[in-house]
Amino acid sequence: MRLIIREDPKAVAYYTANYVRQRINEFRPTRERPFVLGLPTGSTPVEVYWHLVDFYKRGLVSFRNVVTFSMDEYVGLPREHPESYCSFMRRHLYDHINLRPESINMLDGNAEDLAAECQRYEAKIKEVGGIELFLGGIGPDGHIAFNEPGSSLESVTRVKTLAYETVLANARFFGGDVNKVPKLALTVGVGTVRAAREVLLIITGAHKAVALAKCIEEGVNHMWTLSVVQLHPAAMIVCDEDATLELHVKTVRYFKSIEQVQEQLIGRQNIGLKGSISKLPHGDAAHLQSPALNPSTSAVSADSSDEDIGSDDDAASSNISADSTGEAREPELDSACAPAAAPEDAAAEHYPRFMLPRASGMSTMGEIHALVPSPLVQSPAGSAASLARDDQAAAYPPTWHEYEDQFNYFYSCHFIEQDYYDYLANNMRRTSNGYLEAANSGSDEEMVEYSDDDGASIASERQPNAANTSPLDSAEARSSQ
């Protein structure tokens, strides 16, 4: 699951609309193979729809071969009512784009047989080949569509009784009178959302921060139906800073650092729209070790905007340039990722192959952990591990090590005691060949003086040198007693 954090709701709305635009254009829909889009209602997606209308009017996207399915509809509210979701979608989106009338699918809350209407809706989704992208918002209690807390995670389109909190939240659309808010609704099920090939949720505002924390940092729970996206293979949440207020700081930093690594080290042009790495950033391993490098040329630019979120088509031409003979050649390697010069000492064979730039904003924990050398780099030349290192360097770009460090940093934040890092910072130092050793390495014992309240020495004895004993060793000793 991807978590994209933007500054405020306006930035979230633009990012989301631009992502939908690029997904439609990347799909290249036709009349026979339409792009099937699930759409939410409520206040959260309104500005997203405004951006989509603007993109259409500017000629940046066409909805001619798009099929839409709305998430829900009130029961008993006439379609012409200004607060019906039929009127809502037409007012904010459908009446302003070139969507075919027969491509618009909405639930009928006034059907004589509501159960049959729900079955018809599910059958229609299957008839068009399933939903390609389901865009959704959530409520403060974490519900998707009208799947209130306690809903089955395998549920399909059905009639649902609205929770009192939902009725209160929607009363603002009915003049603040809760008595005018319908108490029943037709809604797609949690299972219907899960069946989509991709799910994109929009979460903004501090009042939804608890729901986001439940989804990101806790397990799947039917009392927080949005948590089901943890089980989806292609789910993305776009939120603002206020929505992250209940998340741990290290969680927020982790997801931001992942996006930073992709921006600065891999390059947006090398990342697919869904976040997958579509190509190696610097060619093959042979090119990486080529002596003809131009340090003044940068192949990766960190200064990019959400105007183009990883579109391969638009960026393909930026990866290939032509030399004086007119033949295509690959871009030159950034000096920040150039092979490091080997040290002159006898341990040169152990030195890491690449010196990677550190992501800015990395905390002290991450910097300390970066000092610990990988086992693949410590093995003598010619050993099995050394050969594995060579094979790995040929199979992965050097940025693979950066991913390894990001994972270890996140893992350590959660599972390793803080005093272990204090021990590394205070008692370890880097040697000339990149290893760590005790800063006070020497005797395994030290003299410990005992004194009375007045400071006078009363006894002394030899104890193990604390500089050569880590807190993890001490913990093992305590557990063995």
The residues assigned a catalytic role are: 72, 141, 143, 148
Indicate the pairing of strand 35-39 with strand 66-70.
parallel
Structure tokens at 186: 């037709």
* Cα 350 from Cα 49, distance rounded (Å): 56
Query: Is the CB of residue 375 less than 8 Å from the CB of residue 385?
Result: yes
Query: Is the CB of residue 279 less than 8 Å from the CB of residue 266?
Result: no
Phi, psi of 398 (to 5 degrees): -60, -20
DSSP 320-349: -EE-TTS-EEPPPPPGGGSBPPPPSSTTGG
Instruction: Give the distance between the most distant pair of CA atoms in the chain.
Output: 95
Alpha helix (H) residue ranges in 63-113: 85-92
Structure tokens at 109: 């809350």
Alpha helix (H) residue ranges in 267-383: 285-288, 312-315, 364-370, 375-378
Structure tokens at 68: 């839409």
Query: Is the CB of residue 198 less than 8 Å from the CB of residue 132?
Result: yes
Q: Sheet with 2-6: list strands edge to edge.
A: 2-6, 235-240, 199-203, 133-137, 35-39, 66-70, 104-105
